[in-house]
Amino acid sequence: MRISWRVYAAITVWASPEVFAKKKLFCYVVLDPIKRAVIEGKNTESRIFPASLAKLMTLFITFDALSKKKIKFNTWFSVSHHASQCLPSKLWVKPGQKLTVEQCIQAVCVSSCNDVATMIAENLAGNVPNFVKMMNYYARTLGMRNTVFKNPSGWHDPDQVTSSKDIALLMRAIWLRFSRYGHFLGGKTFCYKGRVYQNTNRLLGKVEGLRMGKTGYTSHAGYNLSTFTMRHHRPVIVVLTGAPTRTARDNKVRALIEKFYHRKGSGKISKNPILYRGGPKQKVYVKKNSHIS
């Protein structure tokens, strides 16, 4: 019996996590986004496969285009044949079909659709290679020293790598520059053509103050998760990659978030607010004599 190359590729990349368990590197980082300081971590700068965490850069570029008024939420993006051929997870859009920018963002944030991420790339940059150049340009400007992007969806490529710290820096940049769009990364559901898609991030609504998150998984990468949490005006970013199971990933991320907020002295808040230009509209409080870089 013959197996098509798409089925073979899907079996290869989405195989059971045990297949590549010994090759994955477990990494995590707890980042204070105000001080841009690593509070705790393991293998924070080791190169790993991002899986769908790569979509955070796709979203960053989309938010940037929105903020510069190059596009609007009601701008229509067209589906190409190439985008429609992407493997799951996907929205199963067809060539010639159109989605609004807002629908595209929701599909990527909530359902992590590879076909829609590719749609965004092609409509913003003309083609995927040009968009990848943009992804790597922004990675350099954000100080993501261990990151190389090869596609907008995070589909496995042996040369597409990042680190848990780099993803944390990207999450920080989204918060600082595009907080008005952050609610998309905290959406629990997305409705399209009568179907309700559930967010793959199971910690939303279960961890106090968790406002943004993005999951990722391939058999090569393991289970990944990037989160942004805000409690009592104090933010924290936790990124974890290479977990052997979804449950192990979620439990560890939850534990790291709780540990940060229960750390001795972490609850002391200054009375002096600092507002970021172009960043969050809410007031962000920092300890006395702390600095922002």
Where in the sequence numbering do the catalytic residues fall?
Answer: 52, 55, 112
DSSP 227: E
Distances (CA, A) of 8 to 14, 90, 92, 118, 157: 10, 17, 19, 21, 15
Binding-site residue numbers are 214
Give the residue among 188, 184, 192 at the shortest CA–CA distance from 56: 184
141: helix, strand or coil: helix
* Alpha helix stretches (DSSP H) within 14-113: 55-67, 81-84, 101-111
Binding-site residue numbers for substrate are 214
Give the residue among 91, 128, 129 at the shortest CA–CA distance from 110: 91
Query: For the packed helices 114-125 and 128-141, what is the interaxial angle rounded to 10 degrees?
Result: 90
Structure tokens at 45: 């700068």
User: Is 241 within 8 Å of 164 (Cβ atoms)?
Assistant: yes
For residue 201, the Cα-to-chain-centroid distance in whole angstroms is 11
